[in-house]
Structure formats: C-alpha cells, structure tokens
Amino acid sequence: MADSVEIQIHDSFASIDQSAWDECACPEGATGRPNDPFTTYRFLNALEDSASVGTRTGWQPKYLTAHLGDQMIGAAPLYAKGHSQGEYIFDHSWAHAYENAGGKYYPKMQMAVPFTPASGRRFLVKPAFAEIAQAALVQGAVQFTDTHNLSSLHITFCTKEESDAGAQMGLLPRKSQQFHWVNDSYQDFEGFLSTLSSRKRKNIRKERAQAQGFGGRILSLTGDDIKPEHWDAFWVFYQDTGMRKWGSPYLTRAFFDIVQDTMRDDVLLVLAEFDGAIIAGALNFIGADTVYGRYWGCSMHVPCLHFELCYYQAIDFAISNGMRLVEAGAQGTHKLARGYMPVETHSLHWFPDERFGNAVAQYLTEEADAVDEEIEVLTSYGPFRKDHIEEQE
C-alpha cells in the first residue's frame, strides 16, 4: 500500500495547507496545546517567513508531504544543508573523511527542526496511516538524496520509536545524550529539593538566593504579557550569545516578531530587570507536557542568574503547570547538579555510498557503547538521595 502513497516536495510552506500539515504534526492540537511546538506549521513557517532559513542560510527547504488520494497522511521538515551548523548532532568528522576520500559532502539532506536540539517526531504521520506514511516518507527522503547525488541523509532528534523503525528500514541509528529534568509529581520546588542530597539541596538554595537577591526583579512572562520592549531586550542578548557561540545568530529579528504574533501562548520568556532595565533573559517554548529551554543572554553579570533564569524558573513553571519535563537544550554537564539527568537522544543517517556507510555504522556501534557508559557514569553522580532513587526503581 505504501507504493500507492504519493510523495511531494515543497520549496516553501506557501504550497502546503496549514491545517493539513498540522493534522499530521499535532493532531492533539485540535483540543489543546500541541505536544511539540517545533513541528507545527506556525513555528516552521516563522523560520521561513523571517528568512532564518532559505536562501543564503544553508538551510534550503525541501519539505516532504505524503498523500493517499486527496488526503495528506504524512509530512516531514526536510532541508538541503550547505554546512553542518545549527544541528547539534555533530558530523564534522564524517564530512572531513568524506571529502578526504574525494567526495563532496555538502549539500546533504537534513530532516530536522532547524537550530532546535529538542527530541520529537520527525515523521509527522496521521495515526491511522502511521506505518505506510512513515515508510513513504523514508523512501521519499532516501530517493531524493540518491537521485540528486547528495552525500547523505540525516534525521536528527527523532523519537526512539522512529529510530527503531528507521533501523529496520536500513537507516543507521545513532545515540547521543542530553540532560532533562523530570517532574516526579512535585507539589512545589521544595518538594523537588527534598529528593536531593543535603549538599546539593543547600547549593541550589544558595544559588537561588544569590540570583534573586541581585536588587532587581525576575519576570516570567507568557502570552499577552510579553510586550515588544521585552523582545527588543531579548534580541540584544540573543545576538551577543549567538556571536560568541556560533559566529553569527541563527535567527533573524523578524522571527521573534512572528512568534509574538502566532505563538506567544507557547512561549515562556524569563527576564531579569535591574534599575528599570532588562539585563538578562531566557527563552523557552511550551509543549503539552514539556518546557523547552532554548536561548539565554545577558548584558550584566549577576552570580547564578543563568541557573535561575534557565533552569530553576523553568522547573517552577513546570511544577506549577503540572508539566512532566524540562528539556534544557544541548550539552552542559553543569545541569546534572541542578536535577537535570542524562537521557538518550536519537538520530538516523543514510549514505548512498555503501562503503562509507559501513564505516560509519562501525563507528556508531562503538559510539553507542561509549554513550551508554557515559550515561551510566553521569547518572551515578546525580544529585538525588539514594533512597529516592531506590523508590523510583
């Protein structure tokens, strides 16, 4: 039946019906907040309309849609990539090896949410057609990569279920690691602290006291409470952080204006104000049961303010709103002492060159063992009391 599914490739969201895309990306959104704000039409389209992706960005849209008759049953955010920036699953060594062997690694194909290391579905399929739609999307992405003589296809931060299914279809699974905070039905922040060892509990209380005692105030804003002047201030922070970490910011200023217009209810903007001026900020997006930490920046150094705005305020929000997870973005072992524990993340990869693919497969097997060991070691250094860990087991 998958053979009867038609795959279409789109260079712009202008040729895709918004409701049809969202019926695949977030069918639960019809009755509530989408599970994943990043695969919604409005988020991905904000990237495109703001010129954060597209010409001269190295992210050229090639969105996939799968159709059975006149019904869209699947979709995928696919891009032709001219570099390996903004992905957070690093393949620079593969690019170097491929080009040393005489190949041309770029452009490559990337199925991902640009600049967003948050796990979620990449094969956006209607539940009633999940198996055939996913198979068709995989076949479509592989065929596009092959027929255009591109080096590779990469599907990053997909779900474990998608990784397992993709491996069954001949894609190479890769395992990575992030830090997530899990809400164990806490009633308040003190309830969370009570599960930590005494030393870690005291350290967090000390950090919060330092951050909150800086002489200003901390604002946690969402929806209509976010004003243009808040985005103006945050843009300054984002530019500074982007220039230092990536060489240039990934997102344009217009992106934040579009998000304010179309997604402000899905945003948690945490700001620090001192003497009438906003001096620091952290941007989060809100899913149905997850707070996703994304960007941080400041214009004035305050001890521990980064921990407060990025980690503790997100935990406060998650507890107050009965949310299950806080995903704090890529990397950062410093998150461990603050209750964010190591978890697996997943990606899939495919190379038309079978010999190169075999070499990568061998590397990924060895890497997966190393990731498992790293997670085990990091978990052993976690901040939770031993009796609490035993209760969870």
Which pLDDT belongs to residue 248?
A: 81
The answer to whether the CB of 336 falls within 8 A of the CB of 344 is no
* pLDDT at residue 74 is higher than 60: yes
Question: What DSSP state is assigned to residue 85?
Answer: -
Which pLDDT belongs to residue 246?
A: 74
The answer to whether the CB of 34 falls within 8 A of the CB of 96 is no
Average pLDDT for residues 5-20, to the nearest whole number? 97
In angstroms, rounded to a whole number, what is the distance separating the alpha carbons of residues 36 and 118?
9
DSSP, collapsed to helix, strand or coil, labels residue 240 as helix
H and E: helices and strands count for the chain? 13, 15
- Give the percent of the chain with pLDDT over 90: 91
Which pLDDT belongs to residue 219?
A: 97
* pLDDT at residue 387 is higher than 80: no
- Side-chain-side CA neighbours of 252 within 13 Å: the count stands at 14
Kindly report the number of other CB atoms within 10 A of residue 32's CB atom. Answer: 9
Which pLDDT belongs to residue 123?
A: 98
Kindly report the number of other CB atoms within 10 A of residue 4's CB atom. Answer: 10
> Sheet harboring 325-327: ordered strands across?
59-61, 78-81, 108-111, 153-158, 341-350, 172-182, 325-327, 290-298, 277-286, 267-274, 217-221
- Give the percent of the chain with pLDDT over 70: 97
- Side-chain-side CA neighbours of 184 within 13 Å: the count stands at 16
Distances (CA, A) of 116 to 139, 171, 191: 24, 22, 30
Which pLDDT belongs to residue 27?
A: 87
Q: Tell me the two tokens of residue 311.
A: 């980690």
Average pLDDT for residues 326-331, to the nearest whole number? 89
Over residues 259-301, the pLDDT tens digits come to 999 999 999 999 999 999 999 999 999 999 999 999 999 999 9
What are the beta bridge partners of residue 86?
A: none
Domains belonging to the chain, first-starting first, are 2-176+344-380 (3.40.630.30), 184-323 (3.40.630.30)
The confidence band for 390, taking pLDDT boundaries of 50, 70 and 90, is low
Over residues 53-64, the pLDDT tens digits come to 999 999 999 999
Residues 6+ positions from 370 with CB-CB distance below 8 Å: none
Kindly report the number of other CB atoms within 10 A of residue 6's CB atom. Answer: 13
Which pLDDT belongs to residue 329?
A: 86
Over residues 14-34, the pLDDT tens digits come to 999 999 999 999 988 766 799
The confidence band for 330, taking pLDDT boundaries of 50, 70 and 90, is confident
- Side-chain-side CA neighbours of 212 within 13 Å: the count stands at 10
Q: Tell me the two tokens of residue 183.
A: 């809400």
In angstroms, rounded to a whole number, what is the distance separating the alpha carbons of residues 196 and 210?
20
Over residues 169-192, the pLDDT tens digits come to 999 999 999 999 999 999 999 999
3-state SS record for 124-160: EECHHHHHHHHHHHHHHHHHHHHHCCCCCEEEEEECH
The confidence band for 331, taking pLDDT boundaries of 50, 70 and 90, is confident
Q: How many residues does the chain have?
A: 393
Average pLDDT for residues 316-329, to the nearest whole number? 96
Average pLDDT for residues 100-118, to the nearest whole number? 97
* pLDDT at residue 363 is higher than 60: yes
| pTM, rounded to two decimals | 0.95
Q: Phi and psi of 251, rounded to 5°?
A: -95, 145
Q: Dihedral of CA 129/37/77/329: which sign?
A: negative
Average pLDDT along the chain: 95
The confidence band for 391, taking pLDDT boundaries of 50, 70 and 90, is low
In angstroms, rounded to a whole number, what is the distance separating the alpha carbons of residues 38 and 292?
10
Which pLDDT belongs to residue 245?
A: 74
Q: Dihedral of CA 41/43/48/50: which sign?
A: positive
